[in-house]
Amino acid sequence: MNFGILVFDGVEELDFVGPWEMLTMWRKVGAGPEPCLIVGESGAPVTCAKGLSINPHVSFADCPALDCLLVPGGQGTRREVNNPVLVEFVAGQARNCSAVLSVCTGAFVLHAAGLLSGKAATTHWASLDRLRALGDVQVREQRFVRDGDIWTSAGVSAGIDLTLGFIASVAGAETSGEVQLQAEYYPATSRYGGPEIHARAPAYLERQ
Amino acid sequence: MNFGILVFDGVEELDFVGPWEMLTMWRKVGAGPEPCLIVGESGAPVTCAKGLSINPHVSFADCPALDCLLVPGGQGTRREVNNPVLVEFVAGQARNCSAVLSVCTGAFVLHAAGLLSGKAATTHWASLDRLRALGDVQVREQRFVRDGDIWTSAGVSAGIDLTLGFIASVAGAETSGEVQLQAEYYPATSRYGGPEIHARAPAYLERQ
């Protein structure tokens, strides 16, 4: 199984590095995806949303048929949903993928590629209304959502939880647990500041 | 205030991108560090531990005097603790820093630079015994540890918690809460697989 992670100018850093870390740690503890590829349209360096510069492994032209594809979010998605080359790349790869995943506002790229219509999905809390306004998505306020072969997560850091859930579904909970241990993903439960800050968070927060 | 994040071949991806995301989100919600710089010895592209390729913003030679410095971990630290150029860079910058932070096995780089002797500190759970064996560090099994101006965290993902704690100490809990909200850092509490996996985790897990 190979795995591609799409990047573009303005991709949010943690949106893709969180899943990248979990997927590549899966390779370390078991039969994780090989290769894991960072895929950019031209293959040229990409400047992320907060200014980190990265070098894709392959361009669209050089990218093999992918078994799984993850689309991160970030401000750049507002431009890329109108980029027919990128949207067609996602739609074309998805036809052969056993799973397509998005993090944060990457959900809007999946929608532009025709992958979210009629599906249950989620996105960053500040974009939930925008996802509802598309009209054909069953929006869920969950940390991550699986609807068949389409997996979507809440914002930024939620891609880590999404990926651990995905690994558990593919390789079993024990493997996901080994990844969790190696990445020492036992996050603190602190909530900083007053409750008025976190009142803007989605409904899943109340259920935690 | 400016902030430098050290990178080197074999740096673990999430170790530095987790803090990077929180620090740069702090810039978005308030008076976060400006600039935030990814600093590499030569300035040439760096291949991270799991194969992500990144481009530092500055070389050691071009790096300004830093107010704060974060040293991530990863397999590359085993080589870099014996690299006098890198160790002297950390030691030299630290003299002027108001805070020096490490994630995961970045703690061993701080130690090589003379910054951990007599200090309370932590590291990745699998390297705690190696930290104890240094003989002059008060090892704590905590998610992160502050001892004066030295902050250290547990493994890989723990750099996120470290950075939110650091932001709260510098800018207040409300600012850290805004960063947490924007990054939607409300992680799931799932533990995948059986308890025998997580029995290898450090003591703080039992207190969560």
B192–A176 C-beta distance less than 8 A: yes
- Label residue B22 by pLDDT band (50, 70, 90): very high
**pLDDT value, residue A9:** 98
In this prediction, residue A208 has a pLDDT band, given cuts at 50, 70 and 90, of confident
Average pLDDT over residues A161-177: 98
pLDDT of B115 reads 98
Q: Point out the residue among B161, B165, B186 whose CB comes nearest to the CB of A205.
A: B186
Q: What percentage of chain A has pLDDT greater than the value 70?
A: 100
CB contact under 8 Å between B177 and A191, yes or no, is: yes
Average pLDDT, chain B: 97
Q: What is the ipTM of this complex?
A: 0.96
Contacts of A174 in chain B (CB under 8 A): 192-194, 197
Q: How many CB atoms lie within 10 A of CB B5?
A: 28
DSSP chain A: --EEEEE-TT--HHHHHHHHHHHHHHHHHSS--SSEEEEESSSS-EE-TTS-EEE-SEETTTPPPPSEEEE--STTHHHHTT-HHHHHHHHHHHTT-SEEEE-TTHHHHHHHTT-STT-EE---GGGHHHHHHTSS-EE--SSEEEETTEEEE-STTHHHHHHHHHHHHHH-HHHHHHHHHHTT--------S-HHHHTTS-THHHH-
Q: Taking residues A80-87, what's their average pLDDT? A: 98
B63 has catalytic annotation: no
- Cis before A202 (ω within 30): no
Q: In this prediction, what percent of chain B has a pLDDT beyond 90?
A: 98
Partner-chain contact A13 B36, CB within 8 Å: no
What pLDDT is stored for residue A133 in this prediction? 98
Give the number of beta-carbon pairs within 8 Å between A and B: 206
pLDDT per residue as tens digits for the range A22-42: 999 999 998 999 999 999 999
**Confidence band for A206, pLDDT divided at 50, 70 and 90:** confident
CB–CB contact A186 B201 (8 Å): yes
- Looking at residue A57, its pLDDT comes to 98
- Among B165, B180, B191, beta carbon nearest to A191: B180
Q: Where are the alpha helices (DSSP H) in B36-172?
A: 77-80, 84-94, 106-112, 128-133, 158-171
Residue of B nearest to A125 (CA): B184
Res B109: pLDDT:
98
* pLDDT digits 0-9 by tens, B154-201: 999 999 999 999 999 999 999 999 999 999 999 999 999 999 999 999
Are A14 and B189 a contacting pair at CB < 8 A? no
Q: Is the pLDDT confidence value at B208 over 80?
A: no
Q: Indicate the average pLDDT of chain A.
A: 97
- Which residues of chain A neighbour B165 with C-beta distances below 8 Å? 190
pLDDT at position A165 is 98
Residues of A belonging to the active site: 104
Distance CA A86, CA A97 (A): 16
In the three-class reduction of DSSP (H, G, I as helix; E, B as strand; rest coil), residue B35 is classed as coil
DSSP element (H, E) containing B205: helix B204-207
Tens digit of each residue's pLDDT (9 = 90 or more) over A15-26: 999 999 999 999
Query: Residues B25-30: what's their mean pLDDT?
Result: 95
Query: What's this model's pTM, rounded to 2 decimal places?
Result: 0.97
Length of chain A: 208
Q: What is the pLDDT of residues B82-123, one digit of tens each?
A: 999 999 999 999 999 999 999 999 999 999 999 999 999 999
List chain A domain ranges: 3-207
**B121 Cβ neighbours under 8 A, 6+ residues apart:** B102, B107, B110, B131, B137, B138, B139, B140, B145, B147, B150, B152
What is the reported pLDDT for B11? 98
Collapsed DSSP state (helix, strand, coil) of residue B62: coil
Residue that wins the pLDDT comparison between B93 and B206: B93
* pLDDT score at B206: 82
For residue A38, the chain B residues in CB contact (below 8 A) are 52-53
Q: Write down the architecture of domain B3-207 according to CATH.
A: 3-Layer(aba) Sandwich (3.40)
The pLDDT value given to residue B50: 98
Q: Quick one: closest CA in A to B154, which residue?
A: A184
State the amino acid at position A89 in one-letter form. Answer: F
Q: Measured between beta carbons, which residues in chain A are less than 8 angstroms from residue B51?
A: 24, 36, 57
Residues of A in contact with B52 (CB under 8 A): 17, 20, 38, 54
Alpha-carbon distance B68 to B172, whole Å? 17
